[in-house]
């Protein structure tokens, strides 16, 4: 019998999660109720932020974060080319221009030097991505952003629970941070996301944006004459319906209790891979001093053989029922980005680390439903592949 398919990630849903969602359905308020508020409070506390705003997806979280930061037409945002396209799409939704920078060869997070070379007078924000769950070089990025009077934003879709020198991702490391709760992330709401920050004015902007741009909060109303009426509310900006329902919030709240445990299992699988995979054949993930990663992905890069060898390994592992993936096709390579004139001219020169990564990388399965025997199966399949290709 063939081994079952081992996905690169998958949600882990317990009976407690199911009971929590079922319970939420017994309430009158199945949207805009107490669970969302509770989730926002607990999540903010967990990441040492002053506030959190829950939204319907991680992409909505990045969009809302960029709106709260005041981005709009004519603004430039420097971000890594190596990310899920949703990060850059959210910048474009606001009419701002994504400018693609390279990543560092160790952790594949946004390279501060590359950012410094691309920032202009129009740069309003530096938007980093905590790639694979490893925190970005926040201190250096903060310096580069401050030199240009730009904000530092973080897409931490991969990094809930990650820490740097005792500071949680989502707290004061960046001005604003976005998280995703989609089914393959470290914890899930089915679909969902959160924005966190410390500036109360930005919280107000975020909370309004995700409710159609409308508010009922008396202190925020522009027409104070009507504030005394219980029926009064205002649309103050063109917003979106990005609300997270109580069903989703119930699942997220239940999963949040297990985030630490989920991340610990991910770390165990990563430690096993680090011990068992052949570092002469594969460049294994690097963890910088003082960092606790969230191990959202476990990405290896082939040392030799380029794209042809990577593609062969990818195909061999898929044939063995191992759900390897490539995270990600660099965003400016997508046809839509080329047509929009957003792709740099010669990417091998301007984004050398990203382009080398694109030829050589592959994500191995890592998720909390795996045990060591699953990880051993992956290691064996990788070893068998190389055994047939080694020079004799």
Ligand X SMILES: Cc1ncc(COP(=O)(O)O)c(C=O)c1O
Judge whether 72 and 95 are in contact, CB under 8 Å: yes
- The smaller minimum CB distance to ligand X, of residues 49 and 88, is found at 88
**Of 368, 350, 349, 352, nearest to 360 (Cα)?**
352
Euclidean distance between CA atoms 107 and 335, whole angstroms:
27
- The smaller minimum CB distance to ligand X, of residues 158 and 266, is found at 158
> Which residues does 100 contact at the CB level (< 8 Å), separation at least 6?
79, 80, 81, 88, 330, 331, 332, 342, 343, 344, 350, 351
Active site residue: 185, 218, 228, 338, which one?
185
Euclidean distance between CA atoms 246 and 391, whole angstroms:
58
Burial class (CB in 10 A: 0-12, 13-18, 19+), 382: buried
Nearest distance in Å: CB 244, ligand X: 11
Tally Cβ neighbours within 10 Å of residue 392. 2
- The smaller minimum CB distance to ligand X, of residues 170 and 193, is found at 193
Judge whether 99 and 89 are in contact, CB under 8 Å: no
Euclidean distance between CA atoms 63 and 241, whole angstroms:
12
- The smaller minimum CB distance to ligand X, of residues 182 and 350, is found at 182
**Of 69, 40, 67, nearest to 212 (Cα)?**
67
273: left (phi over 0), alpha (psi -120 to 50) or beta: alpha
Nearest distance in Å: CB 391, ligand X: 38
> Which residues does 173 contact at the CB level (< 8 Å), separation at least 6?
135, 138, 142, 154, 164, 167
Q: What is residue 335's DSSP assignment?
A: H
Nearest distance in Å: CB 340, ligand X: 19
Euclidean distance between CA atoms 190 and 139, whole angstroms:
33
- The smaller minimum CB distance to ligand X, of residues 196 and 215, is found at 196
- The smaller minimum CB distance to ligand X, of residues 209 and 385, is found at 209
Judge whether 242 and 55 are in contact, CB under 8 Å: yes
Nearest distance in Å: CB 170, ligand X: 14
- Given the rule CB under 6 A, which residues bind ligand X? 57-59, 62, 83-84, 86-87, 129, 155, 157-158, 180, 182, 193
Nearest distance in Å: CB 185, ligand X: 7
- The smaller minimum CB distance to ligand X, of residues 62 and 163, is found at 62
**Of 117, 118, 116, 153, nearest to 136 (Cα)?**
153
Place of tokens 């109360």: 200
Nearest distance in Å: CB 200, ligand X: 25
> Which residues does 194 contact at the CB level (< 8 Å), separation at least 6?
39, 40, 43, 52, 53, 54, 55, 61, 178, 179, 181
Nearest distance in Å: CB 83, ligand X: 5
Catalytic residue status for 243:
no
The catalytic residues are: 185
């Amino acid at each position: 019998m063939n081994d079952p398919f081992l996905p690169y990630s998958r949600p882990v849903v317990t009976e407690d999660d199911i009971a929590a969602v079922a319970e939420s359905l017994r309430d009158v308020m199945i949207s805009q109720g107490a669970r969302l508020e509770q989730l926002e409070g607990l999540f903010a506390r967990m990441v040492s932020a002053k506030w959190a705003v829950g939204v319907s997806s991680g992409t909505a979280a990045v969009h809302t974060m960029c709106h709260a930061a005041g981005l709009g037409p004519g603004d430039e945002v420097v971000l890594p080319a190596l990310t899920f396209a949703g990060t850059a799409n959210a910048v474009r939704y606001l009419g701002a221009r994504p400018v693609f920078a390279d990543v560092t060869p160790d952790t594949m997070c946004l390279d501060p030097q590359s950012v410094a070379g691309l920032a202009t007078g129009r740069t309003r924000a530096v938007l980093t991505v905590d790639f694979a769950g490893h925190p970005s070089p926040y201190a250096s990025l903060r310096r580069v952003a401050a030199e240009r009077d730009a904000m530092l934003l973080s897409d931490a879709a991969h990094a809930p629970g990650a820490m740097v020198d005792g500071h949680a991702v989502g707290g004061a490391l960046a001005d604003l941070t976005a998280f995703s709760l989609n089914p393959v992330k470290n914890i899930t709401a089915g679909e969902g996301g959160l924005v966190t920050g410390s500036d109360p004015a930005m919280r107000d902007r975020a909370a309004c944006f995700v409710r159609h741009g409308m508010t009922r909060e008396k202190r925020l109303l522009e027409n104070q004459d009507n504030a005394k009426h219980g029926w009064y509310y205002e649309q103050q900006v063109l917003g979106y319906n990005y609300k997270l329902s109580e069903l989703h919030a119930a699942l997220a709240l239940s999963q949040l209790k297990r985030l630490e445990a989920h991340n610990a299992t991910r770390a165990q699988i990563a430690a096993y891979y680090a011990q068992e995979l052949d570092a002469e054949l594969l460049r294994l993930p690097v963890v910088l001093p003082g960092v606790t990663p969230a191990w959202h992905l476990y990405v290896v890069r082939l040392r030799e053989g380029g794209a042809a060898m990577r593609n062969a390994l990818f195909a061999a592992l898929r044939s063995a029922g191992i759900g390897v993936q490539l995270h990600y096709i660099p965003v400016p390579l997508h046809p839509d980005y080329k047509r929009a004139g957003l792709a740099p001219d010669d990417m091998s020169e301007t984004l050398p680390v990203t382009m080398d990564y694109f030829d050589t990388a592959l994500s191995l399965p890592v998720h909390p439903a795996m045990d060591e025997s699953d990880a051993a199966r992956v290691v064996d399949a990788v070893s068998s592949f190389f055994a047939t290709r080694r020079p004799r």
